[in-house]
Amino acid sequence: MKTAGARARSNMALVKYWGKRDDALVLPHTGSLSMTLDSLWTETRVTFTGEPGDDTLLLDGAPARTGETARARALLDLVRAGRQELGAARVESHNSFPTAGGLASSASGFAALAAAACWAAGDEPDARALSILARRASGSACRSVLGGFVEWTRGERADGEDSFALQHLAPGAWDVAMAIAVVDTGRKEKSSRDAMKDSVQTSPFFDAWVTTTTQALAQAKAALAARDLERLGAIAENSFLRMHATAMANDVPALFWKPPTLALLEQVRALRHDGTGAWSTIDAGPHVAVLTAGADVERVRRALADVPGVREVLVARPGPGVERM
């Protein structure tokens, strides 16, 4: 038996990834940029049993759903490639946060799984190789391999070897934070994977999304280098609104917002109007993450918690990349 454990944090994109140019290799149409979130993590232990059989996957103590198990197995197969003596894997995974729709548990989950599986098999991939492996399971997972502020490069190659995570700022290099308002802890109706595929195939806005995101990424990297929170926040708000507009325009519309989502966007505007620097972003779900200065995050947290329909507000700061457990 060979076993290893890993902890990886979730991440929140400020310049969103939305659309693949290669579904099998998970290659994006554009680069993206995220913050790794210290308090939202997944811990995963992988044990290769050395025996033939089916892989088993427990998520917070319960057997995973078929789709999740299939994606995990595909990742484990990449690690096992040509080494069938490793045998079936037992995977146990725990999240520090609710696996609510749109709270990116796939990012931390697949980054932790990729690392734990490699380490259990006796491999020592560098961050680049690990992020490429995690990317194959879920695009956003490649960014969770590294800490702080992380770019996922689009790359040009058909084999995806130049599409991986790059760190722009280490965790600790900038005192900013996110307050994440959770409005619904149920599972979301449509997966981001299916909705983004629909956008690539049917959204009349998809080409404009690609063009503007490529520009936004360059601007966001410049804002990050200058530690210009106001500029970065404004770019992040444009990015999520354009992503959602693209998805709403799919032939089968993908609309992730609930009434409290709009109320939260209004609350963030009110905070800004009253002089607190705070900027929203929303993934493929109803929750609203708010970027702010470290010194303001408690005030922002309280303001978000006041909005009707908000179940809880999580606070996160830039966190580290994947760690051995």
| Residues at the site binding ligand DP6, with contacts judged by CB under 6 A | 13, 16-17, 26, 32, 104, 106, 138-140, 192-193, 283-284
For ligand DP6, give the closer residue by CB, 151 or 283: 283
For ligand DP6, give the closer residue by CB, 22 or 60: 22
For ligand DP6, give the closer residue by CB, 89 or 137: 137
For ligand DP6, give the closer residue by CB, 16 or 45: 16
For ligand DP6, give the closer residue by CB, 29 or 90: 29
- The 3-class secondary structure across the chain, one letter per residue, is CEEEEEEEEEEEEEECCCCEEECCCCEECCCEEEEEEEEEEEEEEEEECCCCCCCEEEECCEECCHHHHHHHHHHHHHHHCCCHHHCCEEEEEEECCCCCCCCCHHHHHHHHHHHHHHHHCCCCCCHHHHHHHHHHHCHHHHHHHCCCEEEECCCCCCCCCCCCEEEEECCCCCCEEEEEEECCCCCCCCCHHHHHHHHHHHCCCHHHHHHHHHHHHHHHHHHHHCCCHHHHHHHHHHHHHHHHHHHHCCCCCCCCCCHHHHHHHHHHHHHHHCCCCEEEECCCCCCEEEEEEHHHHHHHHHHHHCCCCCCEEEEECECCCCEEC
For ligand DP6, give the closer residue by CB, 27 or 179: 27
Q: How far is the CB of 295 from ligand DP6 (least distance, A)?
A: 27
Distance, in Å, from the CA atom of 197 to the CA atom of 104, rounded to the nearest integer, reads 18
For ligand DP6, give the closer residue by CB, 284 or 315: 284
